Each structure stands twice: as C-alpha cells, then as structure tokens.
Amino acid sequence: MDCTSLLLAIANDRDESAFKKLFYHFYDDLVHFSASITNDFNSSEDLVADLMLKVWTEPKDILSIKNIKTYLFKAIKNRSLNYLSRSKTHEYYLSHPHLNDVPSTPEDLLISKEFIKQFNQLVDKLPPKTKMAFILVKDNLCSYAEAAEIMEISTHTVDRHIQIALQRLKAELEKNNSLINSEL
C-alpha cells in the first residue's frame, strides 16, 4: 500500500475514500495490539477510533511523518498505556487475565481450540514488554525493525524479548501440559 499518496490525498484533498483505505488497512492490527495492552477489546476499539479521528481532523500533523505504520502503532501504544493507567478496571483485569478472550479467527477453528486458548492465556502472563514484542512480531503485525521503532528499543532487544517469550512459554507449556512432552 502506498501510504505517502494516501496521506497526501487525506491531508490535501480531504479524500474520504483514501481515509477509509488507510482505516481498513490498519484497523484490526491496531485494535489487536491495543487490546493486548488494555485487555479490553471494546475500549481498544474506541482508542483506535479516537486516533483515526485525529488523523482525519488534523491531517497537517501526519504529513511530516516518515512511516505512518510505526507512527500509528507508537501512538496507539501510548494511548493504550495511558488508558490502562487511568482505567479503574486496571486492577481487576490484571487479576483476571483470562478475561482477555480475544475473538478467534477462522484459522483458529482448524487447530486445537482448547490448546490455542491455553496458549493465549500464557501469552497474557508474559512480562508486559516481552508480551508487546511477541504480539507485534508473532501476530504478523510488524517486522523486527518496525517493532523496534514502535517500542523505542533496538532490534537486538526485540529479539531478546522473543527469545524470552519462547523460553517462558516452553517452560509453562511443559509444566502445564503433557501435550508436548512425549514424542518430541
């Protein structure tokens, strides 16, 4: 997708269809990423809507942006973290991480549902930054380089987080589950 020409069309021509293209392209990814921080799908939808509204109403700001993708992810990261800190349900969700039942995709239906569910619960228990890096990379939202820019860390550190995530998940899976112990 040619983001630069879309941004120009949005800022200069006030082209609604260009805005919609941008919206369709990033909406699900941004909501998914935000929900991994807030643990609240509905609020994340609102946070993303607010962000996209800003893109539409203050387009002059976006013209100076080099990479719209990392800009949007960085912005939604900050908004999600702010939301989390002022959210009164914060404590509640932290103590009930299993409430974060992200709606499943059709692909999920093909593989062992129960296992995926268990796996996603383990992902929720990862340390926040490790979880953030893991979600960004694993869920195909970003490359290492993009994740590094969004999280404002080096690509090396992103890789460290992925390694930590893999190690922890492996340990947890082996602890909880005879599923993988046997035949490997």
Q: Which stretch binds another protein (CB under 8 A): 64-72, 82-90, 91-99, 103-111?
A: 103-111
User: Could you tell me the smallest distance in angstroms from the CB atom of residue 73 to another protein?
Assistant: 13
Q: Is 175 in the site for another protein (CB under 8 A)?
A: no
- Supply the DSSP symbol for 96: -
Q: Which of 8, 18, 81, 102 binds another protein (CB under 8 A)?
A: 102
Q: What does the longest C-alpha to C-alpha distance in the chain come to?
A: 61
What would the two tokens of residue 121 be? 């619960």
Q: Is 152 in the site for another protein (CB under 8 A)?
A: no
What would the two tokens of residue 47 be? 């946070």
Q: Is 154 in the site for another protein (CB under 8 A)?
A: no
- Which is nearer to another protein, 27 or 93 (by Cβ)? 27
User: Could you tell me the smallest distance in angstroms from the CB atom of residue 65 to another protein?
Assistant: 19
Q: Which of 87, 119, 157, 168 binds another protein (CB under 8 A)?
A: 119
What would the two tokens of residue 83 be? 């939301």
Q: What is the rounded CA–CA span in Å between residue 160 and residue 134?
A: 10
Q: Is 184 in the site for another protein (CB under 8 A)?
A: yes
Q: Do 132 and 73 touch, CB atoms closer than 8 A? A: no
Decide: helix, strand or coil at residue 21.
Answer: helix
For the chain, how big is the Rg over CA atoms in Å?
A: 18
Q: Do 182 and 171 touch, CB atoms closer than 8 A? A: no
Binding mask 25-64 for another protein (x = CB under 8 A): --xxx-xx--------x---xx--xx-xx--xx-------
The dihedral built from the CA positions of residue 169, 172, 176 and 178, taken in this order, carries a sign that is positive
Q: Is 85 in the site for another protein (CB under 8 A)?
A: no
**What dihedral angle (degrees, nearest 10) is formed by the CA atoms of 145, 3, 68, 82?**
-120
- Which is nearer to another protein, 125 or 138 (by Cβ)? 138
Interface residues with another protein (CB under 8 A)? 16, 19-20, 23-24, 27-29, 31-32, 41, 45-46, 49-50, 52-53, 56-57, 102-108, 111-112, 115-116, 119-120, 123, 135, 137-141, 143-144, 159, 162-163, 166-167, 169-170, 173, 179-180, 182-184
